Amino acid sequence: MGNCFGAKIKAESPSHSAFTSGTNSKYGSKNGNGLSSSSSRVSAASVPPTPRTQGEILQSSNVCSFTFHELRTATRNFRPDSVLGEGGFGSVFKGWIEEHTFVPAKPGTGMVIAVKKLNQESYQGHREWLAEVNYLGQLSHPNLVKLIGYCLEDEQRLLVYEFMPRGSLENHLFRRGSYFQPLSWNLRMKVALGAAKGLAFLHSDKAKVIYRDFKTSNVLLDSSYNAKLSDFGLAKDGPTGDKSHVSTRVMGTYGYAAPEYLATGHLTTKSDVYSFGVVLVEMLSGRRALDKNRPSGQHCLVEWARPYLTHKRKIFRILDTRLGTQYSISGAQKAASLALQCLSMEARYRPTMNQVVSVLEQLQDFKDASTGPVPSPAAKKTDRSLDSSSRRSRGRSLEEAASVNGKVAYPRPTASPLYG
């Protein structure tokens, strides 16, 4: 078996002093744009006084080191039919290992794992790979995906995660087909709460991390729809001392990044809160943050939805029609108002993730259902009549056409440098 530095995955929060940033202070793009020459945009605030070396990160992480041969065996030679998904850095494969020894196991036995194999040509991918080991190798929380191990061999870079049987929130919201039934209102609220708890933990004094890439494809779901955050390749240590922000090259995914971060590169926990607001609107509306297939004026979800979110009676026009009558008026209004607060143009008016968690806790399991029935489908139809063109367009969009050989065929957002 591979070399395990810790006994399996130890539940351990990082000691912040031993958990410095800088391993990921400069990211290149997954699209091969390369490292920016604009390193001047990376201020001293993001460069730690004592950056940890790769060796230090790998040695201090509580995860196993696998050989390439072990992971090739565990995934049956990276069989194409075991691809769980593809991202900007490479493909994710399903595999099996023995529960206690972690040696490759026969398919269907032992423990299921998800193996992310980075495209070899991506030098930039190494930095994100290392950042993932740095953060997930030390942080442990029920709403963060568990990193079981990694492989670093010649040019090969792989990551081994716990398998999340229900895949990503992105698939559940936007992929059509018999396997992906629309998520119910209650499940959407459950997933929102789980993801919010994950972010709240990252922002807490224990972890002090800014996630920077919150989006639906990075929220993974276990068999009971518990949400776990994955992909810490863009994560950054939060500001230290009396600093209010860290300065970074602007990275992330279009449609999710906070306006002040895009404008200045100043990153705070409130940038994550904004991205959470975008995802909440995606969950409420069933629409993607950015979708060029929609009519002009509707490409950017937040711009389109904002006027509706501000009016308690108009929010029904943006709610996902597939939700039918599953929500109460007051529940929908509370969720919309929460999203609107998260999307405040001024960061200081956004709630903290702890505050978001408390509001979402009140929205679990229809606790508020007594406050009013859902408008009848007929009433909602009238409400949404203005929007019929967009619904027609959604019917035609690539989202619907999605599945080709089990692969997602719609345009997908992916993380990259947003400017520069």
Reduce the DSSP state of residue 45 to 3 states and report it.
helix
Rounded-to-integer distance, Cα 381 and Cα 196, Å: 32
Choose the binding region for Mg ion from 101-109, 212-220, 243-251, 345-353 (rule: CB under 5 A): 212-220
CB of 70 to Mg ion, least distance (A): 23
CB of 368 to Mg ion, least distance (A): 33
Please give the residues from 217 up to 246 whose contact with Mg ion meets the rule CB under 5 A.
218, 231
Side-chain-side CA neighbours of 13 within 13 Å: the count stands at 12
Please give the residues from 50 up to 79 whose contact with ligand ATP meets the rule CB under 6 A.
none
Choose the binding region for Mg ion from 109-117, 125-133, 215-223, 283-291 (rule: CB under 5 A): 215-223
Q: Which one, 116 or 270, has the nearer CB to ligand ATP? A: 116
Choose the binding region for ligand ATP from 168-176, 280-288, 304-312, 342-350 (rule: CB under 6 A): 168-176
Reduce the DSSP state of residue 116 to 3 states and report it.
strand
Q: Which one, 14 or 167, has the nearer CB to Mg ion? A: 167
Report the residue from 150, 163, 201, 214 that binds ligand ATP according to the rule CB under 6 A. Answer: 163
The verdict on whether residue 407 carries a ligand-binding annotation is no
Torsion sign across C-alpha atoms 85, 86, 89, 90:
positive
Report the partner that residue 164 touches, choosing among ligand ATP, Mg ion, none (CB closer than 5 to 8 A by kind). ligand ATP
Contact 238, 208 (CB under 8 A): yes
> Does 218 help bind ligand ATP (rule: CB under 6 A)?
yes
Contact 388, 9 (CB under 8 A): no
> Does 124 help bind ligand ATP (rule: CB under 6 A)?
no
Q: What secondary structure letter does DSSP report for 192? A: H
Report the partner that residue 258 touches, choosing among Mg ion, ligand ATP, none (CB closer than 5 to 8 A by kind). none
Reduce the DSSP state of residue 86 to 3 states and report it.
strand
Distance of alpha carbon 18 from the chain centroid = 25
What residues are annotated to the active site? 213
Report the residue from 2, 149, 167, 351 that binds ligand ATP according to the rule CB under 6 A. Answer: 167
**Of 333, 199, 317, 360, residue with least CA distance to 268:** 199
- At residue 329's C-alpha, the angle toward residues 323 and 331, to 5°, is 80
Rounded-to-integer distance, Cα 389 and Cα 386, Å: 8
Residues recorded for the chain = 420
Interacting residues toward Mg ion by CB under 5 A? 218, 231
Interacting residues toward ligand ATP by CB under 6 A? 30, 84-89, 92, 114, 116, 145, 161, 163-164, 167-168, 170-171, 217-218, 220, 230-231, 414-415
